[in-house]
Amino acid sequence: MELKLDLSREYGLVLEGGGAKGAYQIGAWKALREAGVRIKGIAGVSVGSLNGALICMDDLERAEKIWKNIEYSQVMAVNDETIKALRERDFKSLNLQDLISSGFQILKDGGFDITPLRNLIEEVVGDEDKIRNSDRELYTVTYSVSDRKELAEDIRTGEAGTIKDMLLASAYFLAFKNEKLGGKRYMDGGGVNNVPINVLLEHGYEDIIVIRIYGLGLDKERVTEIPEGIRVYHIAPRQDLGGILEFDKKKTRKNMTLGYYDAKRFLYGLYGRIYYIDAPNTEPYYFDKMMSELEFFKIYMQDTLNEEGMAALTGYRAFTEKLFPRLAEEFKLKEGWDYKDMYLGLLEDLAKRLKVRRFQIYTVDELLREIRKKFRSLEKAGSLLPDNKK
């Protein structure tokens, strides 16, 4: 595989707010780190600020440990079993009287008690000097309710003892009990600027990687004018990462893995919407390859066409003029798709239906080999190819 990013340059990272979705950012950073991408600074908001602190310290081990083991009770003063029962609608296991009392107390307090989040930030930061002495800038975005203005500052340069407070200030979600920090009240920065690319632009960054997680808040990137000569890259999920308060370690582990492979897709120009496919050749190569394997793909087509339709599949034109346009709609290929897109779409659809392992980088031949292996297993078991619509 050929790396598509210039490693001789230094990059700024933009880390969006999005609560529990933030695990994705750590997975993406791991892939960037492995590839040798040099990070000059970070602009983060809410969970992006907390992850930014870990990146600033270059502490991948701690970051992975935190996200692999995260629970609701590490962010809010709640009972993990109660939250789990509510999510699964297991009302029989709940003490409704206690639940109602807790709900009234939360309302009375003005939100969830986030003492656990304070403790988590304490764990993340530890010794402030690790951040202050970092050669990476760390801009955190928050909104000062007291001063009625957005704040975006390199927190390494603030007064001693203020880093933890500013990280908490950036993450003050509306559902949280809001307490004064340093005599002032703050609000989650995502409400005013959830994708703070403008912060890095204002500080002279020319190469910027934006890691999207699609959290709640104002997407300022949409209205930010990118000056000529500035290079902006995006790493973004193609599936839902779950809720912003879904602090479930099974979910966050999957999101971290997804972030890692999505970053690999970006770094190495991998193809695939679901899988990660190294496909460097041009359209004619894949067209010839697809047509040479039609006997195998006809197995797939049997549940797409009736017998009459199958009988009509003779000659290239029957495929190119009738079948492939129909499959393109089914695969939801982009307008202007080509035969490379079609071939990879066929492979991905078959791989998904046969439950081929997703999180791995495949060459086209490797993926086809895994598909054939799975199919042979089905044949031996006397099973049919799984329904295309499932």
Domain positions in the chain are 11-268, 276-381
Between CA 88 and CA 286 the distance in angstroms is: 45
**Closest by CA position to 134, among listed 156, 112, 117:** 156
Query: Which one of the listed residues 46, 49, 248, 341 is annotated catalytic?
Result: 46
pTM of the model: 0.87
Secondary structure E strands in the chain: 10-15, 38-45, 137-144, 149-154, 186-188, 207-211, 231-235, 276-278, 361-363
Query: Which one of the listed residues 165, 188, 248, 262 is annotated catalytic?
Result: 188
Neighbours of 237 (CB within 10 A): 17
CATH number for the segment(s) 11-268: 3.40.1090
> Is-contact 53 131, C-beta < 8 A?
yes
Going by their DSSP bridges, the two strands 137-144 and 186-188 should be labelled as antiparallel
8 flagged as catalytic = no
Strand, coil or helix: what is 244? Answer: coil
188 flagged as catalytic = yes
**Per residue of the chain (390 residues), what is the pLDDT tens digit?**
899 999 999 999 999 999 899 999 999 999 999 999 999 999 999 899 999 999 999 989 999 998 998 887 777 656 666 666 556 565 555 555 555 565 545 555 555 677 778 888 888 787 788 888 899 999 999 888 888 888 888 888 878 778 888 888 887 776 676 776 777 777 788 888 999 999 999 999 999 999 999 988 888 888 889 999 999 999 999 999 998 888 888 999 999 999 999 999 999 999 999 999 999 999 999 989 988 887 777 666 665 554 444 445 566 677 777 778 888 888 888 888 999 998 999 899 889 988 999 999 999 999 999 998 988 887 777 665 665 544
